[in-house]
């Protein structure tokens, strides 16, 4: 953040920090057995309670919520000035932190998401209603007994054309929502309230960079799929249709695997860019560095979050589709049929309302999960918990910061 404490700007990719506990000269570690914590924990944790380390849980290590100790000690108590405790987080704490952000700061979180969703759906509804409502080419293709190549091409061209404006509008809306909501989450971690005006002031200087980053990420993720499918497509156009289809499927599978790997590896670049005020290239490098050695965990958390959002969007979409079909006079039979739906203005408006409701709930949750995963990775690798504790005004956490963690501005 810019004008309030809480976030450090690395400037360049920092070296791997020496995560051994740092104590002032002559002072012994607080652990009763003198053991050194495993890398990932900061040397000193800001206490939230007068007690120190937790009591032993027994002879066998149970794994615990984080599974980060090689002995039987529980997690040390950690301060919780905002929506998360200032220590390495487990999956449930990340998901709960995203939901808690929406609940505790519902005015900026839901207000921003609602405004972005309304603007997006206005563009989508008007575009569909004015230019692509009749589905003329698709209806001609459905009614033709022996479709010609020109009819198939016209139908696919209509489908693709109908998606251009919504896709671009969705990209702009996603960039705007990510920029604004990331700042809300970053304040929520410190337990500080924030207004929409403050969020806009802090986010505005980085919007163009974030838009460029989003375009670059889209190209990076889509490119492996295109490269994978292209050889099979060329073979098919050369006359070997069966071989071309098989080669395209293999290329599509390989390209999709690479695309998912790249998406996860670079998934933290947006919060890195917004909160560290870095350039596009530096943000990509930072994300790759933070996700390194934690790809599967990052993938699991992001996949679980998107699964929850898909379920919510499906339920809301199903309900609004039924209401839209009944309100437009088509009935459920028309909606469940295989043909093109008669998209009246009533039908489009009701669907748009459902999409606004779904986006208002899912946009802040998605931004919250991604931002908290980023914070968790920095806590584990760079002792960001110490800097966050100081920024939150927890004086007990004052002390030498971990190596490699830049000071608070």
What are the extents of the domains in the chain? 91-203+294-382
Mean pLDDT of the chain: 77
Distance CA(320)–CA(314), nearest Å, equals: 10
Indicate the pLDDT class of residue 336, thresholds 50, 70 and 90.
Answer: low
- Distance set, CA 391 to CA 120, 151, 195, 276, 359 (Å): 36, 63, 19, 15, 32
- Please compute, for residue 200, the number of CA atoms within 13 A of its CA located in the half-sphere on the CB side: 8
β-strand partners of 39:
41
Residue 308 has pLDDT above 80, yes or no: yes
Predicted local distance difference test score (pLDDT) of residue 395? 60
Task: Tell me how many degrees the CA angle 274-276-282 measures, rounded to the nearest 5.
Answer: 95
117 or 401, which is more confident: 117
Residue 225 has pLDDT above 50, yes or no: yes
Distance CA(309)–CA(171), nearest Å, equals: 18
Query: pLDDT tens, 348-358?
Result: 888 899 999 99
Predicted local distance difference test score (pLDDT) of residue 172? 86
Query: pLDDT tens, 269-282?
Result: 999 999 999 899 99
Predicted local distance difference test score (pLDDT) of residue 49? 40
Average pLDDT over residues 20-27: 47
- At 233, which helix (H) or strand (E)? helix 207-237
Query: pLDDT tens, 95-141?
Result: 999 999 999 999 999 999 999 999 998 988 888 777 766 666 666 66
Residue 134's SS3 state is: coil
Residue 23 has pLDDT above 80, yes or no: no
Residue 36 has pLDDT above 80, yes or no: no
- Label residue 171 exposed, middle or buried (CB < 10 Å: 0-12, 13-18, 19+): middle
Q: How many CB atoms lie within 10 A of CB 335?
A: 16
Best CA proximity match to 99, nearest among 371, 370, 368? 368
Task: Tell me how many degrees the CA angle 3-6-7 measures, rounded to the nearest 5.
Answer: 85
Predicted local distance difference test score (pLDDT) of residue 37? 45
Best CA proximity match to 352, nearest among 126, 44, 102? 126
Q: How many CB atoms lie within 10 A of CB 70?
A: 10
Query: Cβ contacts of residue 167 below 8 Å, gap of 6+?
Result: none
């Amino acid at each position: 953040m810019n004008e309030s404490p809480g976030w450090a700007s690395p400037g360049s990719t920092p070296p791997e920090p020496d995560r051994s506990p740092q104590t002032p000269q002559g002072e012994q570690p607080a652990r009763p057995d003198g053991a050194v914590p495993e890398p990932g924990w900061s040397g000193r944790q800001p206490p939230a309670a007068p007690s120190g380390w937790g009591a032993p849980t027994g002879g066998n290590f149970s794994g615990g919520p984080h599974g980060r100790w090689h002995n039987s000690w529980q997690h040390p108590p950690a301060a919780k000035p905002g929506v998360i405790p200032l220590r390495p987080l487990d999956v449930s704490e990340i998901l709960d932190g995203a939901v808690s952000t929406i609940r505790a700061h519902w005015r900026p979180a839901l207000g921003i998401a609602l405004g972005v969703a309304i603007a997006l759906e206005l563009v989508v509804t008007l575009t569909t209603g004015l230019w692509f409502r009749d589905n003329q080419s698709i209806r001609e293709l459905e009614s033709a007994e022996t479709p010609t190549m020109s009819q198939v091409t016209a139908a696919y061209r209509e489908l693709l054309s109908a998606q251009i404006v919504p896709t671009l509008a969705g990209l702009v809306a996603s960039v705007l929502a990510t920029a604004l909501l990331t700042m809300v989450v970053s304040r929520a971690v410190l337990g500080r309230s924030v207004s929409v005006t403050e969020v806009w002031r802090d986010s505005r200087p980085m919007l163009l960079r974030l838009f460029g980053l989003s375009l670059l990420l889209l190209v990076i993720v889509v490119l492996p799929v295109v490269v994978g499918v292209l050889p099979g497509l060329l073979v098919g156009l050369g006359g070997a249709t069966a071989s071309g289809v098989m080669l395209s499927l293999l290329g599509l599978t390989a390209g999709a695997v690479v695309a998912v790997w790249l998406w996860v590896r670079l998934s933290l670049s947006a919060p890195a860019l917004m909160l560290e005020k870095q350039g596009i290239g530096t943000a990509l490098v930072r994300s790759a560095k933070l996700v390194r050695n934690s790809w599967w965990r990052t993938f699991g958390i992001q996949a679980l979050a998107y699964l929850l959002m898909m379920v919510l969007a499906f339920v809301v979409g199903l309900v609004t589709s039924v209401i839209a079909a009944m309100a437009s006079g088509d009935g459920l039979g028309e909606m469940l049929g295989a043909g093109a739906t008669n998209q009246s203005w009533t039908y489009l408006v009701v669907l748009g309302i459902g999409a606004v409701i779904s986006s208002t709930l899912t946009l802040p949750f998605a931004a919250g999960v991604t931002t908290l995963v980023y914070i968790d990775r920095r806590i584990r690798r760079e002792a960001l918990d110490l800097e966050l504790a100081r920024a939150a005004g927890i004086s007990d956490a004052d002390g030498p910061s971990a190596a490699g963690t830049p000071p608070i501005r």
